[in-house]
């Protein structure tokens, strides 16, 4: 192997492991690591942990909502649960999970020795456990955690007790972590591609992450600014969101959603990428319209900056504003439609098989599209006056996020787990996991559409008895969906430690891409030298042949 390790004599010098050997001690391996695979694993494990924590909070919510009236928790604690559930799922579960995938896969997909800035990569991850420890610690403070919703709207959020400053600083830390992570992704993709891996030959997962990283760079600092203004309004007497001083609480909503809408695409674009990897493999056909997929992703990203106020149709905007944001929002349906069309066309007349990753990908295409359609309904400003802040919105974003982003995460996990561990997972349990998830996610969220249309408000611990039936369905679905995820944990544990079925290098027979050219499990260091790229592995069907 090449001697990529230069010898150094620093005070904090590390024992110089051999290039392709893992460090021995536990701390050396996990706390001090600069290896993209180890850091990817750290992100993924952390994210799974946060899924379980955030999921438990969701079950507290669903338990309280099982019946009308107040049974289990105080209303204020209920609000803390909705707030923390969202913060943890968005910033602690979905986003880190995608960064974990980026770490594991991007260097292997583009033929790079590692991420571009390995030390910073370590820091990006190791900020997160501290940030979330601080966030979670607020639940144990005297007046409890934040309870104003993950959107932190003032003036309500400014009434948060002593936990407020901790929440703001935790958000700052998450932002710093995300920004460093995105810098790393951009530098890696722009600078570390093996010769021959031109931009338009990159796998779509790499493309979608590149665009996601741009979105993150543009909006995380804005979120940091927004919560900083909250902090100074709370503690230092500024008037950003105080009308008496010439400010405006609505201004916070504009700033927050300038971050918030791109944020939802940050959670879904890498999912689009994963689905675009999996469908061709199990349809045994190249991806239909590769270039169109790239351009559609870029257009979605661009449009995501000019639609934010569709979250604010009821807040009292001028009519021109309502109209602009309505039409701009509807426009996003066009590139999104291109994507769904191309996925379906990829499968058209393909020789399909239905292994677990494919099942999750198919579930994604169908159920995410339902979420997209309810999004279109919400984008009609006049109709949104009715839907806003009801369970219809809750149903919408859970469809795009759970059978959307989360299903894609699971699809990707099953797809690459054999590559990561060198062993096959249990296909039977994987399929069981899929079918139970797919059924229960609908039991959980579909009735929420009806609740919302009938007028049940969100973020309320008690409700009128007329909503009882659908809420019971939803709660039952919720508990069963939650229990089903324990199967997922079981499948992973089994695959990592107990499975005896070795995985081949090319785990799936018609999978394309550089990651399948290295053995399974992928060696600790892959591509210390750029690989010779076999064109057939990377050229896409619609690339013009020279």
Partner 1 sequence: MAQHADNAYYVPHATRWPIVGSLGMIIMLASAAYWLNGASAARWSFLLGVAILVFMVFGWFGQVIRESERGVYNEQVDSSFRLGMAWFIFSEIMFFACFFGALFYARALVVPWLGGEGSGAATNEYLWPGYVPHWPTNGPGEVGGDFQTIPAFGIPFVNTLILLTSGVTITLAHHALKAARRTPLILWLAATVLLGLVFVVLQVEEYLEAYQVLGLTLGSGIYGSTFFMLTGFHGLHVSLGAIILLVIMLRSMRGHFTPDSHFAFEAAAWYWHFVDVVWLGLFIFVYVL
The number of C-alpha atoms within 13 Å of 474 and in the hemisphere containing its C-beta is: 27
CA-angle at 398, arms to 394 and 402, nearest 5°: 165
| Residue tagged active-site, from 36, 339, 396, 433 | 339
Q: Which listed residue (147, 215, 230, 255) binds partner 1 by CB under 8 A?
A: 255
Residue 254 binds: one of partner 1, Cu ion, ligand HEM, none (C-beta under 5 to 8 A by kind): partner 1
**Which of partner 1, ligand HEM, Cu ion, none is residue 401 near (CB under 5 to 8 Å by kind)?**
ligand HEM
Which region, judged by CB under 8 A, interacts with partner 1, from 44-52, 93-101, 189-197, 368-376? Answer: 189-197
3-class DSSP assignment, residue 349: coil
Nearest 5°: the CA angle 129, 130, 131 is 95
Which residue lies nearer to partner 1 by CB, 193 or 398? 193
Residues in the chain: 546
Place of tokens 């990006």: 124
* 8-state DSSP, 88: I
Two structure tokens written together for 382: 């006049």
Taking a C-beta distance cutoff of 8 angstroms, is the pair 453, 493 a contact? no
Count of alpha carbons within 13 Å of 363, Cβ hemisphere only? 31
Is 159 an interacting residue with respect to partner 1 (CB under 8 A)? no
Q: Which does 460 bind (CB under 5 to 8 A by kind): partner 1, ligand HEM, Cu ion, none?
A: none
**Out of 36, 85, 172, 396, which one is annotated catalytic?**
85
| Number of shown-chain residues binding ligand HEM (CB under 6 A) | 25
Residue 182 sits in the site that holds partner 1 (CB under 8 A): yes
The residue from 17, 120, 187, 376 that contacts ligand HEM (CB under 6 A) is: 376
Q: Which three-class secondary structure state does DSSP give residue 423?
A: strand
Closest CA to 326 of 306, 354, 302: 306
Catalytic residue among 157, 276, 304, 390: 276
Look up residue 311 and give its DSSP letter: G
Q: Chain-centre distance of CA 119, in angstroms?
A: 23
> Which positions ≥6 away from 231 have C-beta within 8 Å?
164, 165, 168
Is 336 annotated as catalytic? yes
**126 carries an active-site annotation:** no
Q: Which of 38, 64, 233, 263 is catalytic?
A: 263
Give 308-311 contacts, CB < 8 A, sequence gap 24+: 308/254, 308/257, 308/258, 308/260, 308/261, 309/254, 309/257, 310/261, 310/378, 310/379, 310/381, 310/384, 311/253, 311/257, 311/260, 311/261
Touching ligand HEM, residues 229-268 (CB under 6 A)? 264, 267-268
What CA–CA distance (Å, rounded) separates 399 from 383? 19
d(CA 333, CA 339): 10
Question: Contacting partner 1 (CB under 8 A), which of 68, 149, 196, 247?
Answer: 247
Beta bridge partners of 210: none
- Residue 123 found at the interface with partner 1 (CB under 8 A): yes
Residue 36 known to be catalytic:
no
CA dist., res. 50 & res. 64, Å (int): 21
Whether residue 532 lies in the annotated active site? no
- Asked about 449 being catalytic, the answer comes back as no
- Asked if 396 touches Cu ion (CB under 5 A), the answer is no
Residues 6+ apart with CB under 8 A from 142: 161, 162
The single residue among 24, 26, 140, 246 that binds partner 1, judged by CB under 8 A, is 246
Active site residue 391: no
Distance CA 525, CA 516 (A): 15
Residue 1 · residue 20 · CB < 8 Å? yes
- Candidate list 90, 95, 224, 533; residue touching partner 1; CB under 8 A: 224
Name residues contacting partner 1, limited to 480-539 (CB under 8 A). 525, 528-529
Inter-residue contact 462 to 69 (CB < 8 Å): yes
Cβ closest to ligand HEM, residue 203 vs residue 262: 262
Shortest separation between residue 35's beta carbon and partner 1, angstroms: 8
226 binds partner 1 (CB under 8 A): yes
Active site residue 484: no
Measured CA to CA, the distance from residue 187 to residue 118 in angstroms comes to 11
Taking CB under 6 A as the criterion, which residues in 105-164 touch ligand HEM? 151
Phi, psi of 261 (to 5 degrees): -70, -50
524 given a catalytic annotation = no
- Contacts to Cu ion from residues 233-272, by CB under 5 A: 261
d(CA 467, CA 391): 11
Confirm or reject binding of residue 239 to partner 1 (CB under 8 A): yes
Catalytic residue among 431, 458, 504, 506: 458
Catalytic residue among 265, 387, 399, 420: 265
**Nearest to partner 1 of 212, 475 (CB atom):** 212
Q: Would you count residue 305 as binding partner 1 (CB under 8 A)?
A: no
Residue sitting closest to ligand HEM (CB)? 375
322 interacts with ligand HEM by CB under 6 A: no
Stretch that binds partner 1, among 78-86, 116-124, 425-433, 485-493 (CB under 8 A): 116-124
Given the residues 82, 177, 283, 379, the one annotated as active site: 177
Select 252 or 387, whichever has its Cβ closest to ligand HEM.
Answer: 387
Catalytic residue flag (residue 98): no
Active site annotation includes 85: yes
| DSSP code, position 193 | P
Q: Is 304 tagged catalytic? A: no
Partner that binds at residue 405, options ligand HEM, partner 1, Cu ion, none, CB closer than 5 to 8 Å by kind: ligand HEM
> Could you tell me the smallest distance in angstroms from the CB atom of residue 95 to ligand HEM?
11
Q: Is residue 311 annotated as part of the catalytic site, yes or no?
A: yes
Contact 279, 347 (CB under 8 A): yes
**Residue 298 binds ligand HEM, judged by CB under 6 A:** no
Q: Is 194 in the site for partner 1 (CB under 8 A)?
A: no
Report which of 98, 94, 174 is spatially closest to residue 135, judged by C-alpha positions: 174
Nearest to 236 by CA among 158, 330, 340, 342: 158
Backbone angles phi and psi of 474, in degrees to 5: -60, -45
Q: How many residues bind Cu ion (CB under 5 A)?
A: 1
Q: Could you give the residue numbers annotated as active site?
A: 85, 114, 150, 177-178, 261, 263, 265, 276, 310-311, 336, 339, 458
Residues that bind ligand HEM (CB under 6 A): 151, 264, 267-268, 310-311, 329, 332-333, 336, 372, 375-376, 378-379, 384, 387-388, 393, 396-397, 400-401, 404-405
């Amino acid at each position: 192997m090449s001697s990529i390790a230069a010898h150094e004599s620093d005070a904090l010098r590390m024992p110089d492991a051999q290039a392709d050997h893992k460090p021995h001690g536990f701390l050396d391996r996990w706390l001090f690591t600069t290896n993209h695979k180890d850091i990817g694993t750290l992100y993924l494990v952390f994210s799974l942990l946060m899924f379980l924590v955030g999921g438990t909070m969701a079950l507290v919510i669903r338990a309280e909502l099982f019946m009308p009236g107040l049974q289990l928790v105080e209303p204020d604690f209920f609000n803390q649960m909705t707030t923390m559930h969202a913060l943890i799922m968005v910033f602690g579960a979905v986003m880190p999970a995608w960064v974990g995938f980026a770490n594991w896969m991007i260097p292997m997909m583009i033929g790079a020795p590692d991420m571009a800035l390995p030390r910073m990569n370590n820091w990006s991850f190791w900020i997160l456990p501290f940030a979330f420890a601080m966030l979670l610690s607020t639940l144990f403070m005297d007046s409890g955690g934040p309870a104003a919703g993950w959107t932190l709207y003032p003036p309500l959020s400014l009434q948060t007790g002593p936990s407020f400053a901790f929440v703001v600083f935790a958000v700052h830390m998450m932002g710093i972590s995300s920004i460093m992570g995105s810098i790393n992704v951009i530098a890696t993709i722009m600078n570390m591609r093996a010769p021959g891996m031109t931009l338009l030959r990159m796998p779509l997962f790499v493309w979608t992450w590149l665009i996601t990283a741009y979105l993150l760079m543009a909006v995380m600092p804005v979120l940091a600014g927004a919560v900083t203004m909250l902090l100074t309004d709370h503690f230092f007497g500024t008037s950003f969101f105080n009308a008496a001083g010439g400010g405006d609480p609505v201004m916070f909503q504009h700033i927050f959603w300038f971050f918030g809408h791109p944020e939802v695409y940050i959670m879904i674009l890498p999912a689009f990428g994963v689905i675009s990897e999996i469908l061709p493999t199990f349809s045994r056909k190249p991806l239909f319209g590769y270039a169109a997929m790239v351009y559609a992703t870029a257009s979605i990203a661009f449009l995501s900056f000019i639609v934010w106020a569709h979250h604010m149709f009821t807040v009292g905007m001028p009519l021109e504003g309502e109209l602009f944001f309505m039409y701009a929002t509807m426009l996003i349906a066009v590139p999104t439609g291109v994507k769904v069309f191309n996925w379906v066309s990829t499968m058209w007349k393909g020789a399909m098989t239905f292994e677990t990753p494919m099942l999750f990908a198919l579930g994604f295409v169908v159920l995410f599209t339902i979420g997209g359609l309810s999004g279109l309904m919400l984008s009609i400003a006049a109709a949104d006056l009715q839907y806003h802040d009801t369970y219809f919105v809750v149903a919408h974003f859970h469809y795009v996020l759970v059978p959307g982003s989360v299903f894609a995460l699971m699809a990707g996990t099953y797809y690459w787990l054999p590559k990561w561990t060198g062993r096959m997972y249990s296909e039977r349990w994987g399929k069981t996991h899929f079918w139970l998830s797919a059924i229960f996610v609908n039991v959980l969220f579909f009735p929420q559409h009806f609740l919302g249309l009938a007028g049940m408000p969100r973020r309320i611990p008690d409700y009128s008895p007329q909503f009882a039936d659908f809420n019971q369905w939803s709660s039952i679905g919720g508990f069963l969906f939650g229990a089903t995820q324990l199967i997922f944990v079981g499948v992973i544990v089994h695959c990592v430690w107990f499975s005896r079925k070795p995985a081949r290098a090319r785990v799936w027979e018609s999978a394309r891409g550089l990651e399948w050219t290295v053995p399974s499990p992928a060696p600790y260091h892959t591509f210390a030298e750029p690989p010779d790229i076999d064109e057939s592995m990377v050229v896409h069907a619609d690339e013009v042949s020279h």
